Structure 1
Amino acid sequence: MSNMEGKTALVSGVSNNRSISWGIAKAMHQAGANVALSYGPSMEKRVRPLAESIGCDFVEPCDATSDKEIETLFEKLADRFGTIDAVAHGIVGAKREDLSRPFIETSRDGFLLAQELSVYSLVALTRAALPFMPNGGSVVTLSYHGSQKMMPSYNVMGVAKAALESAVRYLASDVGPKGVRVNAISAGPVRTLSAAGVGEFRNLYKQFPKMTPLRRHISIEDVGEAATFLASDAGANISGQVLYVDGGFNTLGMAMASDEDES
């Protein structure tokens, strides 16, 4: 297990006990970090009990479309903890109808919303965190292979994740001289609240183990451990990267044969 003893980490985007951000929060807590949580305005009833379960006493709402709320969040963090060592960005959003119809029919406002929530929020959080990272630190965000390849029904989110991964590289270049690292984790399909809006997700999730060398699903704990590694001193020289936590799925040029076929 990676060591984050004495470090302070903000984990954003927790929605319930199945969210990847919650897996990150748990892993960082287990690694010794002081974990702070931020959540969307409608998620308080779900998030506060989770925070209590790991002894987290910094739980704040934050509207990711408001620069003022983001700045206020980090000011409160600094008042409470002094400095910040890690930020886990798990904010994502799109109109459900833009995930259920062909990409060519994406609405203009839906396209802009997906970019604002899923991409620009990373830029805004990183910028707001920087003054409170005098000793350097780590920013980790969450992507998906739909950024690189067409994935059924992922549509506007695939384009947003492609922009997100590009933003990771540009941010890493900007903040690197200050000792801050920026990386993304591209996880395999995980049953989360946001995944429920992707039309083909259920079928993809069911078939996924057959399409990976390791032949198994990905858990929020898997992603949490990877994020904790990147945020710890063990990841001190890793920046601008997309780390795949997908059982090797992204390496394949075609689907794996099933075990039944091999026998």
Structure 2
Amino acid sequence: MGLLDGKNLLVTGVLTEGSIAFHVARLAQEQGARVVLTSFGRQLRITQAMARRLPVEAPVGELDVTSTGDLAALAGRVGEHVDRLDGVVHSVGFAPQSVLGGRFLEAGWEDVATALHVSAYSLQALAVAAAPLMGRGSSVVGLTFDARYAWPVYDWMGVAKAALEATSRYLARDLGPRGVRANLVAAGPVRTTAATHIPGFEEIESGWSARAPLGWDVRDPEPTARAVVALLSDWFPATTGEVVHVDGGFHAVGT
């Protein structure tokens, strides 16, 4: 038996084989789940190509998490492929270059608002949009980067991740009575597409492996993906509002 036998999952953010979301989708399928992916715009074809590289080709639905129309249509679009959802993976984040790379003091509100909308508010928007398909025992899992610290060059994306973590706690509070869990996985630095678009990202990843008690491989997204899959399973039935660190233990010893 697989960890996710019989479960239906919605996974956002699959853009490359190096993305954490791709490995979540792959591992979920290997553990018995049926997976539906989402994408939008010019990225749609990229996600469709990635869907064909999974063990089982996954259907891809259109979803821009900032579009009220797409969010309203989500349950219907997903319902074309599965009759319910047992889990939703939020792997969405974006910030304009103007709010990253040491520009914290210069950033304007419009660009900051974009970062907060896409990277934080979208967790609530996605959960609400998927809610009609989720019943008791379902799980919402998102990805964060430890927001307790002011990291070099991360700037307003760090603020957005702090908002994301708070959003997850409030989702845990409000979805809990429905039997739906909400948790986050705080990954160490992984060289995903999103990470490589952060100017000076190497300042964050530099020395991480040496300081992490278990070491850390910035090229390996699978440990993080495994944690997401575990939180989607029935093995954490009473865990919600949690941030699970998958960073080689770096968070325990700091800098």
TM-score range (shorter-chain normalised) is over 0.9
- Judge conservation of contact 2:99–2:156 (CA < 8 Å) in 1: yes
* Other-structure match for 2:250: 249
- 3-state SS of paired residue (2:135): coil
- 1:47-126 alignment to 2 at 5 Å? 47-54=47-54, 55-126=56-127
Matched, 1:184 2:184: yes
* Other-structure match for 1:258: none
* Other-structure match for 2:26: 26
- Judge conservation of contact 1:185–1:223 (CA < 8 Å) in 2: yes
Identity %: 35
Question: Matches of 2:52 and 2:106 in 1, distance apart?
Answer: 43
Bigger shift: 184-193 or 58-67?
Answer: 58-67
- 1:137-148 alignment to 2 at 5 Å? 137-145=138-146, 147-148=147-148
Question: Matches of 1:32 and 1:194 in 2, distance apart?
Answer: 28
- Judge conservation of contact 1:40–1:64 (CA < 8 Å) in 2: no
- Judge conservation of contact 2:119–2:160 (CA < 8 Å) in 1: yes
Q: Is the helix fraction higher in 1 or 2?
A: 1
* Other-structure match for 1:257: none
- Judge conservation of contact 1:38–1:62 (CA < 8 Å) in 2: yes
Query: Structure 1 residues 204 and 2 mapped into 2: Cα distance closer, same or farther (>3 Å)?
Result: farther
* Other-structure match for 1:209: 209
Question: What do residues 217-237 of structure 1 show as CA deviations (whole Å, max 9, x unaligned)?
Answer: 252111111011000000111
Q: How far is 1:102 from its partner? A: 2.6
Deviant stretches of 4+, over 3 Å: none
* Other-structure match for 1:259: none
* Other-structure match for 1:230: 231
- Judge conservation of contact 2:187–2:246 (CA < 8 Å) in 1: yes
Bigger shift: 226-235 or 77-86?
Answer: 77-86
Which sections of structure 1, spanning at least 5 residues, go unmatched? 255-263
- 3-state SS of paired residue (2:73): helix
TM-score normalized by the length of structure 2: 0.94
Bigger shift: 59-68 or 153-162?
Answer: 59-68
Larger Cα Rg: Structure 1 or Structure 2?
Answer: 1
- 3-state SS of paired residue (1:93): coil
Question: Matches of 1:51 and 1:27 in 2, distance apart?
Answer: 13
Question: What do residues 131-189 of structure 1 show as CA deviations (whole Å, max 9, x unaligned)?
Answer: 111233000001002x1101100000000000000000000000001110000000000
What's the RMSD between the two structures over aligned residues?
1.5
Question: Matches of 1:197 and 1:148 in 2, distance apart?
Answer: 22
Q: How far is 1:2 from its partner? A: 6.2
Question: Matches of 2:51 and 2:227 in 1, distance apart?
Answer: 21
Q: How far is 1:76 from its partner? A: 1.6
Question: What do residues 213-262 of structure 1 show as CA deviations (whole Å, max 9, x unaligned)?
Answer: 112225211111101100000011110000000000111143xxxxxxxx
Query: Structure 1 residues 57 and 19 mapped into 2: Cα distance closer, same or farther (>3 Å)?
Result: closer
- 3-state SS of paired residue (2:81): helix
* Other-structure match for 1:17: 17
